[in-house]
Structure 1
């Protein structure tokens, strides 16, 4: 994979990861959302979340990530680009641990290590062409 192509793929992945973190921050501001509390409570919660800056930022990041991802797919085989989305798991686990204080167990870190190895193998397979 060419350097510029990798930048497009990585940009799409990172925008998607940032979107997830912003949505998490917005959702955390609402606390535990109960979908069985009644339609009026759920509607008020949804309306409030729709106006939350973190939720809005997350949605904007998603929209931009889709545009960036389309550019990336025009340049890279989907069988190489799509597995690169797994980088987002690594980024999100690290940032959730750092920003939100989420516990990441040893088993989860081992799984993340397996993902990293898989991403490296897939990325290197594209350079053999």
Structure 2
């Protein structure tokens, strides 16, 4: 994996985590109907922008990396969301979820090693 592809992977994962976090913060911070929270909340709109940029970078990843490698690596976003849920949103994260994130990380490492 070239350094550029690794950087694109990292950027897509970070944007995915940022988008999900922005969605959660934006939808939790205001009262009113869902459509208003989605269409008028700056935090929610930032999440949409993060996703739009992520799609463009993801397409760049897919143009260079095999899907059988790219998609498992994208699963690291779950681990990032778990960390953000705990340390940014203050959510309780069970030991079972931490174990699951560890298994995902190990699986991604195995996929990357086998692709080298």
- State TM-score, norm by structure 1: 0.84
Deviations 1:68-114 (A, max 9, x none): 00001111001100111111011110111011111011111111110
- In the TM superposition, 1:42-81 aligns within 5 A as 42=33, 45-81=34-70
The 8 Å contact of residues 76 and 108 in structure 2, kept in 1 or not, is answered as yes
Corresponding position of 1:9: 9
The question of 1:117 aligning with 2:106 is answered yes
Q: How many residues align?
A: 116
Q: Which residue of 1 aligns with 2:84?
A: 95
Unmatched 5+ stretches in structure 2: none
Secondary structure of 2:53's match? helix
Q: CA deviation at 1:30?
A: 3.2
Structure 1 unpaired stretches of 5+: 32-40
Alignment partner, residue 23 of structure 2: 23
Whether 1:126 and 2:109 are equivalent positions in the alignment is: no
Structure with the larger RCO, 1 or 2 (CA within 8 Å, 6+ apart): 1
Q: Post-superposition shift, 1:48?
A: 3.9
Q: Which runs of 4+ in 1 moved over 3 A?
A: none
CA distance, structure 1, for counterparts of residue 59 and residue 68 of structure 2: 14
Greater C-alpha Rg: 1
Aligned alpha-carbon RMSD (Å): 1.4
TM-score (norm 2): 0.93
Q: Secondary structure at the match of 1:101?
A: coil
